Amino acid sequence: MIPLIHDMNGKKVVIFGGGEVGFRKASFFYPESDIYVVSRTFYKKFNSINITAIEKELNDAEDNFFLDIINESFLVVAATSDQNLNNHIGRLSKKAGILFNNADGNTGDVMIPSVISGKNYMIAISTCGKSPGMSRYIRKSLEERFPDLDEMISLQSEVRELLKKKEPVQKRRNEILRNIIYDEKVWEELKRDWNSALIYIQEKYFR
């Protein structure tokens, strides 16, 4: 498998299973995708997001029911507590040519990563299903270690535009931008104020 960031805007995502796991899966795609959740019962937090809820006892459902529900879907997610049922949904999805993620059972075509995101960045983390706890640990560690990522990216964007007007040599511009990232003083100034960091950069690197 390889990582891929995909535009899910307006894509139909069908999730089988209305428990806490199903809710986490739905929350991952909300509000970008059109989310359908099929289950006999629904975890109370589903009320906090906009989904299409379909009440159905899945253990008694015929294949035609599943195939009708997943028709024209971009992705199917099996998040029930029954591995055999999850795997069966996976086989039907494959038969229909639809991407599949399995919360518990045989690995599907798609793995849903742990994500850190801000206004200016997105980082996906996955242990390929081997240790979800480790994915959460890595995410938390990055969030604690780099609380000012958004500000640095914004600063880099601003400095990049300023450098285009002041430094004609692209190689030199790239070198300055790289040095700024590794300049601990810039990070210290960012903690105080974005403008202070920009002033420091201009004084040090724009001579």
d(Cα 193, Cα 116) in Å, to the nearest integer?
A: 23
- φ/ψ of 36, rounded to 5, equals -115, 130
C-alpha distances in Å from residue 22, one per residue of 2, 13, 16, 30:
24, 12, 7, 12
The pLDDT tens digits of the residues spanning 141-174 come to: 999 999 999 999 999 999 999 999 999 999 999 9
The CATH number of 1-112, from 1.10.287.1080, 3.40.50.10860, 3.30.360.10, 3.40.50.720, is 3.40.50.720
Model confidence at 132: pLDDT above 90: no
In order of 20, 29, 77, the CA distances from 39 in angstroms are 12, 18, 12
Distances (CA, A) of 168 to 2, 102, 164, 178, 203: 37, 52, 7, 17, 19
The pairing of strands 52-55 and 12-16 is unpaired
For 63-100, the pLDDT digits (tens) are 999 999 999 999 999 999 999 999 999 999 999 999 99
Pairing of the two strands 114-117 and 52-55 = unpaired
Q: Under DSSP, is residue 53 helix (H, G, I), strand (E, B) or coil?
A: strand
Q: What are 1's two structure tokens?
A: 């498998």
- 189 by DSSP, 3-state: which? helix
pTM: 0.87
Rounded Cα–Cα distance for residues 56 and 59 (Å): 9
Asked if residue 80 lies in contact with residue 95, where contact means CB atoms within 8 angstroms, the answer is no
Give the start-to-end residue ranges of the domains of the chain: 1-112, 113-143, 149-205
In the prediction, which pLDDT does 9 show?
Answer: 97
Pick from 128, 101, 137: nearest CA to 22: 101
Nearest to 38 by CA among 8, 12, 4: 12
Give me the pLDDT at residue 42, please: 98
Dihedrals phi, psi of 123, to nearest 5 degrees:
-125, 125
- Mean per-residue pLDDT for 167-194? 97
